[in-house]
Chains A and B, each alone.
Chain A
């Protein structure tokens, strides 16, 4: 059976993806910063192994890569991320916090993907997906605000595009996805769709990815989003 690795799987979309893929019979490697407190994740039925991982900690990334040495990973979902609901304006920007957001949202997913690129290339599925956001689309930005979130996701998109080009010769498909605005802790109760709906859409999308999707920015329903 194919293997999924999903980060930030203790709650939200990560948890829902673990559930959805486990129900489909996949082997799941699910990561969380604090597995002891990830009760819902540990309760997911199926072949689920939970790993400790703070994606912003290079030593923990290295430990995980070592633990997974030789394991083919058909789908790597870089889901862990922060700070979607910021309310900052230009006048009250916290620059140190902004740098931390870059470290988690932009740098960490690339560090993890670089560490596991071999595992993905050795699989049948050969896919690396990144949870980006429509908020990171510079073209679509008409609302302003949310400086930190928008810029970290735009920077992530730029890095994903480069990664996609660099890994395509190895047959690996890298995509940036907008998972929809979902009713998770990050999305809030007013959000448009349920986490389960989002995970369902995403699995359907990931199941049908082809090499020509590599390096694209996709909505959860497969539609193309502009940079």
Chain B
């Protein structure tokens, strides 16, 4: 890295939960943090963080907004992209109460949008030193590990895994490291208060894992403690 330049991270869905914790840690660690959130006005906790944290209005499902966000970086190097934004979708867990109409929307947010963001930021990532993309996925997307129900969420994370493994292969010759990380079952708004892992512990684990990864790890699926998860 050229002397005097700061490492830079882009984090989606940074207004709360795991994304907010990532922003807090990178901000405290003197990175430049570009936080992409749907509604900056309501992202009070994010805006209150210490450090060089820039908040951008971005709906990750919008081609236009993602392109505008990428353009606003004006070619600046991005060392790390954390595709964290995601939704749980309709809570119907069984076949009888499935909301088929909502399924494509969940795929749009959880699978397509991380790909869109990576594609838009590819020049910035290639200009960066670390060249890393972390996709926050879920163990529920592990087909080999699967339970029943939760069709929509499981399939959306399996689709994310498939797409990102694919991208890892296609971009291997550019030295990018693209990985999938299951953050644990975390006590955020999405995970619920009874989830066993705190955002702090989840992100501590993930940061340690991220530090240890390089291009030879591209395309792999880990949990926040560094264990490999089967597809």
Q: A183 interface residue, CB < 8 Å from B?
A: no
Q: A219 interface residue, CB < 8 Å from B?
A: no
Q: A189 interface residue, CB < 8 Å from B?
A: no
**CB atoms of A162 and B146 under 8 A apart:** yes
Complex-state Cα separation, A168 to B115, whole angstroms: 35
**CB atoms of A58 and B100 under 8 A apart:** yes
**CB atoms of A154 and B115 under 8 A apart:** no
Which residues of B have CB within 8 Å of A114?
95-96, 98, 100
**CB atoms of A155 and B162 under 8 A apart:** yes
Q: How far is the CB of B64 from chain A (nearest CB, A)?
A: 12
Q: Look across to chain B and name the residue whose beta carbon is closest to the beta carbon of A167.
A: B95
**CB atoms of A154 and B104 under 8 A apart:** no
Q: How far is the CB of B123 from chain A (nearest CB, A)?
A: 11
**CB atoms of B154 and A93 under 8 A apart:** no
Which residues of A have CB within 8 Å of B15?
none
Which residues of B have CB within 8 Å of A51?
none
Known contacts A158-B154, A227-B230; is A103 also within 8 Å of B143 by CB? no
Q: How far is the CB of B104 from chain A (nearest CB, A)?
A: 5
Q: Mark B62-101, 1 if CB is under 8 A from A, else 0.
A: 0100000000000000000000000000000011101011
Q: A107 interface residue, CB < 8 Å from B?
A: yes
Q: Mark A160-185, 1 if CB is under 8 A from B, else 0.
A: 01110111000000000000000000
Q: How far is the CB of A15 from chain B (nearest CB, A)?
A: 27
Complex-state Cα separation, A75 to B227, whole angstroms: 40
Q: Look across to chain B and name the residue whose beta carbon is closest to the beta carbon of A58.
A: B100
Complex-state Cα separation, A155 to B159, whole angstroms: 5
Most buried by A among B101, B151, B155, B231: B155
Quick one: which of B101, B151, B231 contacts A138, CB cutoff 8 A?
Answer: B231
Binds B, one of A1-9, A23-31, A94-102: A94-102
Known contacts A150-B163, A162-B151, A227-B144; is A95 also within 8 Å of B112 by CB? yes
**CB atoms of B111 and A151 under 8 A apart:** yes
Most buried by B among A90, A141, A157: A90
Q: Look across to chain B and name the residue whose beta carbon is closest to the beta carbon of A142.
A: B169
Which residues of A have CB within 8 Å of B31?
none
Q: Look across to chain A and name the residue whose beta carbon is closest to the beta carbon of B152.
A: A159
Which residues of B have CB within 8 Å of A151?
111, 159, 162-163, 166
Known contacts A114-B98, A166-B94; is A136 also within 8 Å of B162 by CB? yes
Q: B147 interface residue, CB < 8 Å from A?
A: yes
Known contacts A106-B107, A155-B107; is A138 also within 8 Å of B165 by CB? yes
**CB atoms of B95 and A89 under 8 A apart:** no
Which residues of B have CB within 8 Å of A201?
none
Q: Mark B149-175, 1 if CB is under 8 A from A, else 0.
A: 111001111110111011101110000
**CB atoms of B170 and A144 under 8 A apart:** yes
Q: B119 interface residue, CB < 8 Å from A?
A: yes
Q: How far is the CB of A66 from chain B (nearest CB, A)?
A: 17
Complex-state Cα separation, A107 to B111, whole angstroms: 14
Q: B6 interface residue, CB < 8 Å from A?
A: no
Which residues of B have CB within 8 Å of A147?
115, 163, 166-167
Q: Look across to chain A and name the residue whose beta carbon is closest to the beta carbon of B96.
A: A114
**CB atoms of A165 and B146 under 8 A apart:** yes
Q: B58 interface residue, CB < 8 Å from A?
A: no
**Can you name 6 A-B pairs with beta carbons within 8 Å?**
A102-B159, A110-B98, A110-B151, A162-B155, A165-B149, A227-B230
A residues with CB within 8 A of B = 58, 89-91, 93, 95, 98-99, 102-103, 106-107, 110-111, 114, 117, 136-139, 141-147, 150-159, 161-163, 165-167, 215, 226-227
Sample of 14 further A-B pairs with CB below 8 A, known A102-B103, A107-B104, A138-B161: A90-B170, A93-B115, A93-B116, A93-B119, A99-B107, A106-B103, A106-B155, A138-B165, A141-B169, A151-B159, A151-B166, A155-B158, A161-B143, A162-B146
